[in-house]
Structure 1
Amino acid sequence: MEELKKLGELTKMDEKHELMGMVCGSVPSLEKMHSYLSKEVLNGEVPDEIKSQFNVAKNMALYSYFFYALAPEVHLKTYSVIEHALRIKTNPKRLMMLKALMKHALAQGWVSDIGFRHIKNPSVDNEWSKSMIDVIPSLRNSKAHGSKLLVGDCLHHISCCADYINQLFPQKTMKRLNQHCS
C-alpha cells in the first residue's frame, strides 16, 4: 500500500527502483533519466498547448524516480496528450472518441510504423500502428478507471508519444521532402 512519503524522503530514490533493480539488473539514475527525457522533443509545428502537456508528462516521468507509482500516471498522461493532439489535428465536426481519431489518423497517412523510432523493421502495412488503435484506448481506459498494475518503465511511453505527435505535426522541411518524394 502506498503511503505519504516522509518529508526527509521526498528527494530520495523510491526504494521500489532498488527492488526492481534486483530483478532486472539495473537501477535508474536521475541524471540518465533527465538526459533521456531532455532528448525527447516535439517538432516546432506542434501546438504550444500540446508541447506544454507533453512537458508535464516528461516532468512526471522524471519525478517517478522519487515516486515509483507515478509511472502508470505517466502512461495515462501520454495517452491523453496523444488524444488531445489528435483532436486538434483532426478538428472533427462531431465528437470522435480516441479509437476513431486514431483510425482516422492512420487512414489519412498521418501516422505510420516508419515514424516510430523503436520499430526496427517497420511494416509497410503499418501493423504496429494498426494494433495501437485497439491497444491505446484499452490501456487508457484501464488506467483511467483504476488499475492495480504498477509498471516502472514510463520513458518508452514518452518516446512513443513524441513519435506519434511529431508525425501528426511534421516539420515543414519534412513536409516538403515528403511532397517531393510523392
Structure 2
Amino acid sequence: MLDPSDALRDEDDIAHPDPRNTFFGLVDSAGQVRPQELSDHLEAIQPYVLESTVPESVRLHFETAKNLYAYAWFVYRFHAVAEQQVLSSLEFALRSRLESKGDSPIARRSKKFAGLSDWLREAQRLGLITNSRLRIGDQLARERARTRCEFDQIQKMSKPGVTTITVDPATLQPTEEDLRYDWISAFIDGLPKIRNEYAHGSSMLHPAVLRTFDIVCDLINQLFSSSDAVCNARLGDPENQRGGV
C-alpha cells in the first residue's frame, strides 16, 4: 500500500509540505537548530541563474527544473524529477550551442554525437567548457580537501586507544592537487550515469540535488560565454585535449 505522501494529493492536502522535508533542520546564527521552512527551500534554488547570453529556450528549460525543485517541498519525489530535468537542460544547451551554426565546423562535428558524455567531451575539446573557468572550482577543491580530512579522521579513530579527534575546519586548506583536479572529466564520467539512471526508470531518491544544479548552471553559462573564435584558439590548450576519465 502506498504511503499517503507518495499518493496523489487531494485538494485539502495539496498545499501541505511533504513530511519528509520537515525531517531536515537548519542551524541559525545563534547556533540553534530549527526546522526547515518553505522560504529556506526556495532560497536554496534562487541563486542558480543563467546569464542573458544563454538562449531563452535553454533558460526556460532550466527554469522548469528550478520550479520542479521548488515544488519538491510539497512532493518529495520531485527532487529526482528536478535533477533529471536539469541534466536534460544541460544536454539541450549542449545541442543548442554545438548546432548553433549549420555551416560551422562545430555543427558538422557534433552531428555524429548522440549521448550526453559525447556532447560534453566535444564541448571540452573545443574549449567551450574548461576547468580554469569553473566558478565553483575553488568550492569543489575545498570540499575535496574536507572529504579527505574526514576519511583520515575515520582511519585514525579505528586505531586502538583513540576515542576523540579535534579538527578545526578553518585550518583545512586545499592542496595543489585539489586545486588542479580535472573536474570536467569527472563530470563527463559522472553526469551521464545519473541521467541514464533516471532515463531508464529508477527508484533513486535523495534531496541533495543542488550540487547537480551547481555544476549544470556553471557549465551552461560557460557554453555561451565564449565565441567560436575563442574556442578554436583554445584547441591547442593541453587542458582541452584531455578526455573523460
- TM-score normalized with structure 1 length: 0.82
The answer on whether the counterparts of 2:24 and 2:36 sit within 8 Å (CA) in structure 1 is: no
Paired AA for residue 164 in structure 1: L
The answer on whether the counterparts of 1:17 and 1:27 sit within 8 Å (CA) in structure 2 is: no
The number of aligned residues is: 171
Query: Greater share of helix residues, 1 or 2?
Result: 1
Q: CA RMSD in A?
A: 2.5
Q: Which runs of 5+ in 2 are unaligned?
A: 26-32, 100-106, 142-173, 235-245
Given the alignment, which residue of 51, 54, 63 partners 2:62? Answer: 54
Distance across 1 between alignment mates of 2:44 and 2:21: 17
Higher RCO structure (Cα 8 Å, ≥6 apart): 1
Distance across 1 between alignment mates of 2:46 and 2:90: 19
Given the alignment, which residue of 107, 111, 116 partners 1:98? Answer: 116
1:1-182 matches, cutoff 5 A: 1=2, 2-19=6-23, 27-91=35-99, 92-93=107-108, 94-96=111-113, 97-114=115-132, 115-117=134-136, 118-120=139-141, 123-124=179-180, 127-170=182-225
The answer on whether the counterparts of 1:44 and 1:171 sit within 8 Å (CA) in structure 2 is: no
Alpha-carbon deviation of 1:5? 1.7
Distance across 2 between alignment mates of 1:171 and 1:33: 33
Paired AA for residue 120 in structure 2: M
Distance across 1 between alignment mates of 2:130 and 2:34: 32
Deviations 1:52-105 (A, max 9, x none): 011101111100011100001111111100001011111133241211110111
The answer on whether the counterparts of 1:111 and 1:129 sit within 8 Å (CA) in structure 2 is: yes
Paired AA for residue 84 in structure 2: L
Q: Which runs of 5+ in 1 are unaligned?
A: none
The answer on whether the counterparts of 2:128 and 2:226 sit within 8 Å (CA) in structure 1 is: no
Paired AA for residue 121 in structure 2: K
